[in-house]
Structure 1
Amino acid sequence: MATYKQIQEFLTEKHGRTFKSCWIADIKNQHGLTKRQAPNRYDPDNRVHPCPEEHKGKVEEALRHFEMI
């Protein structure tokens, strides 16, 4: 399984912009890949920075590249 840093580097090389780790976490959660919730999360029911719609496909593509989904 790839680390967040590896996924971010892949996305930066491919798309030329930085992707927040919280966006990656949001997509991983949507696909059931998270094991637990972070202890420092402000609100267990809401994400502070959910992944924007225009970047969801790109993050999912990176997860497919690393064979995570």
Structure 2
Amino acid sequence: MDDMDLTSAESKATYKQIQNYVLEKFGFKVSTLYIAQVKKKHGIEVREHYNISKNENHKVPQCPIEKEEAILDVLKYYKMI
């Protein structure tokens, strides 16, 4: 099966697939927050999350560079970017 045979749904990875790929290839875990941040940064549409903090002063951790590069590798592997 070549790339032209893939439907758009088949070429998209789930968050779980992305996490598993990063763990297998790079040996560390990535959170769904980091995946969403990288996807948003590169123009991939993400849905609004349901667990929005009610605290106005909440601090959102930012994805470290090495984890961002690993997530980008997965997104390229699945031809999402």
Alpha-carbon distance in structure 1 between the residues aligned to 2:43 and 2:59: 15
Q: In structure 1, what is the equivalent of residue 9 of structure 2? A: none
Q: Which has the greater radius of gyration?
A: 2
Structure 1 segments unaligned to the other structure (5+ residues) = none
CA RMSD for the aligned pairs?
Answer: 2.0
TM score, norm. by length of structure 1: 0.80
Letter in 2 for 1:32: G
The percentage of counterpart residues that share the same residue type is 36
Quote the residue 1:12 is aligned against. 23
8 Å Cα contact 2:15/2:32 also seen in 1: yes
In structure 1, what is the equivalent of residue 47 of structure 2?
36
Gaps of 5+ in 2: 1-11
Question: TM-score under structure 2 normalisation?
Answer: 0.70
- Structure 1 segments, 4+ long, off by >6 Å, are none
